[in-house]
């Protein structure tokens, strides 16, 4: 446990899941990423089932932790290829397993191709022809810096030139924050897909695409830093424009945050030992106090044992009294203003945040998928979540059964739909088709995937 004070794990955000046709037969195949030293798996759909297909190239990268993936025809040869984003908390600095993987498909065999060399903890991979030159480019979001939580990681835009990628300099995108999810969508309705990213200790950020160049756009005046986990374009109010569903941490938590009393995280080398620490604080009666107690803080910063030799000396101390105002002023400060999951309501190109009902606040919402589940001619949004990577002080978040969001007012909990999501840490939701019938694929962290037939 190299960083005892981080508020949650960063090593449990996988596995990657991507769906698409990987053998050119028109059927939906599946890529499941592997954890460290466990190979990823490709499942090819036949007429009636899925069969695992071995790939020597992919197996040779089994040291990596596969956190995100995308399937697309990157070299425009008519065959889909595979990009895999690597991450996890076990690799750091310039360790080779942090390098992403890129496989072109030739003669039904995946061949590894070179990428720009960057060492980041990937969290999301999204493809889109950003510059309108006919081939799909990539956004690779990064979640955290291993062994240095609190430092803003570098995300990447990768320009595709005939199947070869090069990094596009864009400081605003590269330093957007601790990214967890992203989507390419035309938020300004000019006919060109833009980039929207969400993440932790940051607001949703909108980047307008102008002739292949991304520039941040101010779309709301609200303070919306959150612990955002997921985003889905979805017209929740049926007014003809696109709103954005946002999965956040929820309110069933020891965390507390508001625009007028944000949760704060100070990031600095408080004990001057060459390694950084993070101290998370919440407000009470106008003062800020660390969530961690003396034992937890001193477990990372031993010098505090000399300053506070008895628990009574530590009791009731504000974060400024513990570390000193000068140290806090010099530290980097990250904030959270909102913990509720909800949606950004589109008001003619400006957005306002609307929290979901209480039933959707019991746990982090980590995945959405849109589909016409009830066959009424209009898509609904299915939400899923739960998260276990927290300390016993917080207690794991496992009570969310999933929910079908029909509109602003109507929500149906997953246990009424036959879903077994409670007690499961859902990472991805996908719709797949087998023998012409639709199925829901739910990918779980550290557990078997679930498949549900969707009744017509």
Q: Read off the pLDDT of residues 24-79 as tens digits, 9 standing for 90 and up.
A: 999 999 999 999 889 999 999 998 899 999 999 999 999 999 999 999 999 999 99
Q: Is residue 39 part of a domain?
A: yes
In this predicted structure, the answer to whether residue 456 has a pLDDT above a threshold of 80 is: no
Q: Are residues 209 and 280 in the same domain?
A: no
Query: How far, in Å, CA of 86 to CA of 363, rounded?
Result: 26
The whole-angstrom distance between residue 334's C-alpha and the CA centroid of its chain comes to: 18
**Mean pLDDT, residues 308-333 taken together:** 97
Return the higher-pLDDT residue of 228 and 107.
228
Q: What is the pLDDT of residues 101-126, one digit of tens each?
A: 999 999 889 999 999 999 999 999 99
In this predicted structure, the answer to whether residue 89 has a pLDDT above a threshold of 90 is: no
Last residue of a domain, one of 335, 360, 379: 335
Which DSSP symbol is given to 151?
A: B
User: What are the b/e assignments for 75-105, b being 16+ CB within 10 Å?
Assistant: beeebbbbbbbbbbbebbeeeebbbbbbbbb
Q: Is residue 254 part of a domain?
A: no
Last residue of a domain, one of 218, 249, 283: 218
Q: Are residues 181 and 44 in the same domain?
A: yes
pLDDT number for residue 331: 98
Residues 6+ apart with CB under 8 A from 284: none
Exposed/middle/buried for 375, CB within 10 Å: 0-12, 13-18, 19+? exposed
Last residue of a domain, one of 335, 354, 379: 335
Q: Is residue 321 part of a domain?
A: yes
| CATH code of the domain containing 47 | 2.130.10.130
Residues 6+ apart with CB under 8 A from 184: 126, 127, 128, 130, 139, 193, 194, 195, 196
pLDDT number for residue 1: 60
Q: pTM for the full model?
A: 0.96
pLDDT number for residue 3: 84
Query: How far, in Å, CA of 29 to CA of 101, rounded?
Result: 19
pLDDT number for residue 445: 95
pLDDT number for residue 47: 85
Query: How far, in Å, CA of 300 to CA of 7, rounded?
Result: 13
Q: Are residues 49 and 184 in the same domain?
A: yes
**Domain count for the chain:** 2
Domain range for 36 is 17-218
Q: In what order do the strands lie in the sheet with 403-405?
A: 365-371, 380-385, 403-405, 411-413
Query: How far, in Å, CA of 291 to CA of 254, rounded?
Result: 8
Q: Are residues 319 and 173 in the same domain?
A: no
Q: Is residue 73 part of a domain?
A: yes
Q: Is residue 169 part of a domain?
A: yes
- Residue 57 main-chain phi, psi, to 5 deg: -65, -45
Q: Is residue 287 part of a domain?
A: yes
**Mean pLDDT, residues 11-28 taken together:** 94
Q: Are residues 89 and 153 in the same domain?
A: yes
Query: How far, in Å, CA of 285 to CA of 62, rounded?
Result: 51
Q: How confident is the model at residue 137 (pLDDT cuts 50, 70, 90)?
A: very high
């Amino acid at each position: 446990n190299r960083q005892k004070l981080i508020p949650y794990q960063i090593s449990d955000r996988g596995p990657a899941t991507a769906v698409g046709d990987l053998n050119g037969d028109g059927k939906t195949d599946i890529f499941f990423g592997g954890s460290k030293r466990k190979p990823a798996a490709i499942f090819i759909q036949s007429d009636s089932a899925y069969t695992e297909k071995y790939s020597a190239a992919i197996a040779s990268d089994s040291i990596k932790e596969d956190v995100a993936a995308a399937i697309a025809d990157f070299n425009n040869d008519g065959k889909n290829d595979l990009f895999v984003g690597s991450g996890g908390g076990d690799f750091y600095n310039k360790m080779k397993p942090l390098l992403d993987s890129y496989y072109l498909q030739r003669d039904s065999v995946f061949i590894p191709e070179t990428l720009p060399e960057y060492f980041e903890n990937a969290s999301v991979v999204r493809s889109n022809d950003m510059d309108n030159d006919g081939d799909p480019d990539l956004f690779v979001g990064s979640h955290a810096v291993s062994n240095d939580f609190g430092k803003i990681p570098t995300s990447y835009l990768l320009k595709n030139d005939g199947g070869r990628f090069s990094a596009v300099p864009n400081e605003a995108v590269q330093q957007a924050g601790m990214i967890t999810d992203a989507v390419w969508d035309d938020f300004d309705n000019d006919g060109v897909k833009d980039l929207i990213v969400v993440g932790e200790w940051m607001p949703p950020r909108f980047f307008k695409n102008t002739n292949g160049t991304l520039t941040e756009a101010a779309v709301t005046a609200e303070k919306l830093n959150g612990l955002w986990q997921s985003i889905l374009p979805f017209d929740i109010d049926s007014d003809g424009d696109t709103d954005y569903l946002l999965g956040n941490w929820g309110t069933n938590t020891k965390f507390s945050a508001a625009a007028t009393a944000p949760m704060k995280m100070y990031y600095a080398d408080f004990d001057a030992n060459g390694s950084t620490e993070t101290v998370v604080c919440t407000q009470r009666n106008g003062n800020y106090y660390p969530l961690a107690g003396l034992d937890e803080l001193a477990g990372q910063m031993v010098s505090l044992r000399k300053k506070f030799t008895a628990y009574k000396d530590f009791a009731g101390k504000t974060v400024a009294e513990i570390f000193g105002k000068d140290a806090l002023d010099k530290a980097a400060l990250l904030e959270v203003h909102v913990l509720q999951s909800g949606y950004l309501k589109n008001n003619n190109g400006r957005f306002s945040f609307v929290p979901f009902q209480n039933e959707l606040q019991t746990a982090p919402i980590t995945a959405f998928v849109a589909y016409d589940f009830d066959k009424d001619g209009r898509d609904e949004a299915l939400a899923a979540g739960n998260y276990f990577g927290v300390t016993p002080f917080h207690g794991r978040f496992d009570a969310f059964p999933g929910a079908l969001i029909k509109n602003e007012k109507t929500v149906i909990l997953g246990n009424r739909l036959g879903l077994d999501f409670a007690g499961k840490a859902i990472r991805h939701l996908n719709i797949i088709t087998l023998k012409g019938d639709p199925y829901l694929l739910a990918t779980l962290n550290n557990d078997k995937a679930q498949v549900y037939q969707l009744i017509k």
